[in-house]
Every structure is written in structure tokens, then in C-alpha cells.
Amino acid sequence: MSRKLQVVILGVVVLVVLCVGVLMHGKSNREALRRFKAELRAKGEKLTFAEFTGPLSTNAEEVASRQIFETNNFSYGG
């Protein structure tokens, strides 16, 4: 085998090993994050925006006041 071919094969092997290492490391990080989130949920922590806000009100007056404060616009419709 020529010297160039040996270097190319060695480079490919090193690249494959590095790719496998990165994939394995990413998998362990995702698993650690999943365990951490499960632990927080078991303690009762809220992790999403929907959990913090809860359901929106259907009370018409509250909806109207919320729209006024969000936009600072008053409608003078007739």
C-alpha cells in the first residue's frame, strides 16, 4: 500500500471515531437533561410557559381590559 493511501485510511478511521464519540456524547447529554427535567417535575416545578400561565379567562370584561392594556388602544366603535 502506498503511503498516501495509508494516510487517507487513517484519516477516515479517525474521522469515524470522532463522529461516533460526538454522537455518543450528545446522547448522554440528552439523557441527562431528560432525567433532570423528570426530577424537577417530580418536585412540582413548572417548566413550560403553558404551565406558568394556566388557562386564559373567557370573561368578556377581563378579555377587553387585557386587550386595552396590551395595545393601549381604545376603540370608539358605535
The whole domain housing 47 covers: 3-71
Q: Which comes out higher in pLDDT, residue 76 or 31?
A: 31
Work out how many domains the chain is built from and give that number: 1
Is 65 inside a domain boundary? yes
Q: Which comes out higher in pLDDT, residue 40 or 70?
A: 40
Is 77 inside a domain boundary? no
How far CA 70 is from CA of 15, 22, 28, 33, 51, in Å, comes to 54, 46, 43, 35, 21
pLDDT tens readout for residues 9-56: 999 999 999 988 887 777 778 888 889 989 998 998 888 887 777 777
Is 78 inside a domain boundary? no
